[in-house]
A and B are shown apart, each in its own frame.
Chain A
Amino acid sequence: MRIVGLTFTAALLGLVATGAQAPASPPAAGQKPAAQKPAAPRAAAIPRTSDGRPSLQGNWTNATITPLERMGADLPLVLSEAAAKDEETKTQNAIDARETASDPNRSAPPVGGEARKSPNAEPTYLERVWQAGAGVVGGYNSFWVDPGDRVLRVDGQPRSSILIDPPNGRVPALTPEGRARLAAAAAARKTAGGEFDHPELRPLAERCITSFGNNLGPPMLPNYFYNNSYTIVQTKDNAMILTEMVHDARVVRMGGTRPPPNFRQWFGDSIGRWEGDTLVIETTNFHRNHGFRGSWENLKVTERLTRRDANTLKYRFTVEDPTTFTAPFTGELEFRAMAPDEQVYEYACHEANYGLEGVMSGARAQEREAAKKKSQQ
C-alpha cells in the first residue's frame, strides 16, 4: 500500500472511537441478515495448507467505507444493493472533489482553509471522518489517503455497520464503572496539561506506537485513512498477523496456557484453536494503553476467521467486558486479498516522525508568539 509517515489529530481518533452520530440518507428497504449458521461443511474450493487446514495466508485488506457503528436509528443492517451503490457513488464524488486540482490563479485561501465543495447534500461517513480528523485544511491531501471506496459486504450482503449485535448496530452503553474509568482518565489528562503540552498526551498513532484506531486490535478494524493492510502467515503451532501500520505483529499460539494477569501485551495474549474450518482466537491480557474504549484489564475479544474463497476471509468478532460494557457486542467484516503485485511495505514511522516534532514545536512557537504579543501590549 502507500508509503506515508504523517500525523493526524486527536479529533479523528475521537470520532472513530465514538462513532459519528448523524443521520444518513435513508436506504431502500433492507433485508434481514442471514441467520448465523454453525461451522459450514468443508468446502473444497478454498486454499489449504499441507496439514489440511484452510490457508489464511496472504496479504489482506479490510478497508471499507462502512462505519463500525450504524449511523441513524432507522437504518437496517442489510442495505439494498441500490442503496450500497448510491453510498459508493457519493463517496466517489467526495473523493473526486478532493482530488480536483486547485486553480493555480486562485487568491489566498480564507483564514482556516479552503473548503472543497462536495456535491453531496449530506456528507458521507468518510467526509465526516476527514472533517473531524483535520477540519477544512486537512492533515493530508488526497494523494496520501486510501480509505477504500466500497460498502462492506458480508456473504454478499451490503451492510450499514460492522456491528451486527446488538441489533441497533451500536456499541452497548458503558457500565457506571466504565464511565467512571473513562472520566478519571480524561481528568488525569486534563490535570497533566493541554493536548499539546506533553508528547504523552498525543495519540498513540501520532507517536508511532500503534496504528490509527484499532487496526491490529483485536478486534481488527479499518482505520478509514490508509494502509488497512495485513499479512497472515500460518504454521502448525502459530498464526502470525502483521498490520502494515507500525509493523506490529501479533503472534497467535495454537493452544497453550494464559500468562499471569500482570503480563500484558499491547495487542493482548492471543490463543487460537480450530473449530472445523474456522480459526477461533481468544485474546485477553491487553496493555492498559491499547484496549477498546477504556476497556483493557478485563477485556476479552473472540475472533473467528473463515476462508470463504480465494479472495475472501470472513471475520467475526465479539467483544466482552462486563466491567465496561453493559452487554457483549459482535461485528462482521470481510478481508479481501490484496492484488498479487501489491506488497506490504515497511512502515518505519518512528524513524522519521517529523509530525510529532512539528506538532510539539508548533505549539511552542504559538506560545512564544502569544507571549511576545502580550509583552508588546
Chain B
Amino acid sequence: MTASSVGKPLDRVDGRLKVTGTATFSAEVAVANVAHAVIVGATISKGKITALDVGEAQRVPGVVAVLTHLNAAKVPGADKPTEMTDKVVQVLQNDAVLYDGQPIALVVADTLEHASHAASLVKATYAAEAAICEMDKEIGAGFAPKAAPGRPPPDSNRGDIDAALATAFARVDATYTTPCENHNPLEMHATIAVFQGEDHLTLYDATQGIFGLRKRISKAFDLKPENVRVISHFVGGGFGSKGSAWSHVFLAAMASRATGRAVKLSITRQQMFAFVGYRPQTIQQVTAAASKDGTLVALRHEVTSATSRFDTFAEPSANVTRMLYACPNVKTSHRLVRLDVATPTFTRAPGEASGSFALESALDELSYSLKMDPLALRLKNYAETDPDEKKPFSSKTLRDCYTQGAAKFGWSKRKPEPRSMRDGNWLVGFGMATATYPSRQSAASALARVKKDGSAQVLAGSQDIGTGTYTIMTQIAADALGMSVERVHFDLGDTTFPETPVSGGSQTASSVGSAVKRAGMAVRTKLIDLAVKGKGGPLNGMSAEQVDAEAGVLVSKQDRTKSDSYEAVLARNGLDQIEEKIDEKEKAERKDHSTHAFGAHFIEVKVDPDFGEVRVSRVVSAFAAGKILNRKTARSQFIGGIVWGLGLALHEHTERDPRTSRVVTKDLADYHVPVHADVPDMDIVMVDEVDPYVNEIGAKGVGEIGIVGVGAAIANAVYHATGKRVRSLPITLDKLL
C-alpha cells in the first residue's frame, strides 16, 4: 500500500497563494469593462420610502445607473424561497422598508470611489413607523416554526417530565439569554455579475454553495440553470452567512442586466450588520432535575428566538438537549417572535452553540446543588445510545475526550467551592462543558482523471471556505489514486464541475470527500485492469488483487521489482487519460445509526474581583470526530471555533437603539471580538476514533463543533471563580460587579 497522506498535517496546498496575496477571491477576479456598484441602505427600520432624490448622485462623473424601486426590473422570485437556505430578499421591488440598512438604491459607476460618493448623495424621504427590536415586547405573539424538510421538528417530548419533576431530589430552573451576533468573516460578501446577452449569466461570488446559488438565481431570473455559471475559487470565511443568496447577489445581476456591463458589488463592513444574516437572540428556559446520585430524571428546554417580520429562521437551540444525555424525560420546544429586523441565519453551529450555553450552564448549576463534580455529573448521565433517535451511535468516544481532556487540564486540582482559587489578585475558576455536533452527509459527485503525463486532476464543485478543502481533498484523492499529493491537482468552485452540496453543517469533508475517494478508487481500479488485461506490460496476466498502487506506479505484491507506471499503462494502451465520475449517495448504514462528533472543553479563567475583567488563561479541548484527515487544518478548525466561543462568551453583542431598531455597533471598533492577546495557547486533543458507518472516509466534520460548549465552559468557570452566575451572554465586566 501507498504511504497514506490522509491524516498527515500537510500544509495547505493553497497556503502559498494565500500568504502571497495571489489567491483570487471573488471581488478580485479580473473581468473586462467592470462597473462598480454600491448599495444605499435605509436609515429607518420600518416604514415607506416617500421620495428618493437621485439627481445629485446621477450627476457624479462616471455614474452609469442608479437603480431604485421606481426603475428597477421586477424579479418575481425574490420573495419566493424554495430551499432551506433560500432567503426573502429586498431588491428594489417596492417602497417598503423592513429593517435598518435594507437596500433602497444601487449606484453603478465606473469606479468604486465614484459609486460610493454618489451613493452617499442619494436622498431618501421616509414615512417611518414605530419599529420594535426587543423580544420581550413581542413575546406574547410567539409562534411555532414549521419544521424544515429533513430536519427535526420544533417540539419534542419523551417520557413524562411532570411526573419526574415531582420526585426529583435536586432541580434547577433558570432562564438563559444569548444576544444577536453578526457575521464578520474577514472577506465581506462580494459578487461580480456578468450577463452575456439576456439569458446567460456568470457570477463570481463569495459563497458557501455554488449550486444552491445557481438554483436560486436561475429561478428568480427565469434562466435555465445550465445558463448560469457560478465560480467561487476562494472564500474568506462564511460560517453560514454565505450559505444563502442575499440581496446583493440579485442586485449585482439586476445591475449587469440593466447596464449591459459586468458589475462588481462588494459590501461594506457596516453592511455586514444589515442584510447578510446573523445569529438571532434567544431566550431559553431550562429545567434540569436529578435524583440524589446525580442521575438526570428530567430536562426541559424551551427556546424562543427572534426572526424578521417577513421571513423565518429558527435557531434550533434545544435539539442538543434531546440527545446529549441519557435522560428518560425530556421536553423541548422552539418558538419565534417577529421583530423589525433583518432575517437571521445559520451561524457556526446554529442551535448547538447557543443551546449548549443554556444546557451546559444548567447542568453546572445542578452539579452545585448536588454537590457533585460537574464532570462526574456528565459521566453519570453518559448516553451509550442516542436517546432521541433511539439508535446506536455510529461511534462515540466522548468518554475518552472527558478523561484525556481532564487529565491534560488538571481538572482534579479543582477545588469544589466557588471563589476558592486565586492567583495573586485574580480569582481563578475552572469550567467545563460537553461539545457535540451532528455528522451529516449529503449526495455529492466528483470526477477523477489520470492523464498521460502521470498527473491527476480531480474535480468537485464544492467550495473552500477557508477550512482547507483543497488540501484534504488532495490528500484523499492522492491516497485513493495511489499517488503522491504533489502529482494530484484538485479543483473546486465552479458549477461546471460535478455537483456537490452547500459547505454548511460541517458536511463538506464527509460528502465531497466520500465522492472524491470513490472517484479516485474507480480510476485506480481501471488502471489496474488495464495493466493486467490490456496490451503487454510487466504486470500483464496477473489478477487485479495481486497489484498495488504506490506513488503513481503499479507494483506486483509478490515481486516488487515488477512495476508499471501510470504513464506507461496509458501510453501502451494509446490513451490520453482515464477518468471516472462518481455520484455518491449517503452511506446506507447511516440510516441505522445516530451520527455525531463529540468533545469536551476544560477552561480556566481569571477574574479581577474589583473590576470584573475576565481573562481566559487556559483551554484544553478534546474532540472525537472520526478520522482526522489533516491534523493541521483540523486543529485550525477547532481553535477557530473555540476563539469564536470566547467572543460569544465575553464580547459579541449587536446593540440596537431600542427607539429606532437601528444597529449602533456597525464596525469592529464597537462590535468586539477577541484579539490575539486574549487568546491563550490552546491544547487540542484529537482522540482516535474509527467509524465504519458514518461515511466512506470515516471522518465526521470538524468545522462547527469547536464553538459548541465554549460559552458554557467559560460561564461555568466564571461562576467557579466568582460565585456569580451569569445567565445572559456576553459576560461583560459590569455583570460581575
* A and B from one complex: no
Q: Residues on A close to B: CB < 8 A?
A: none
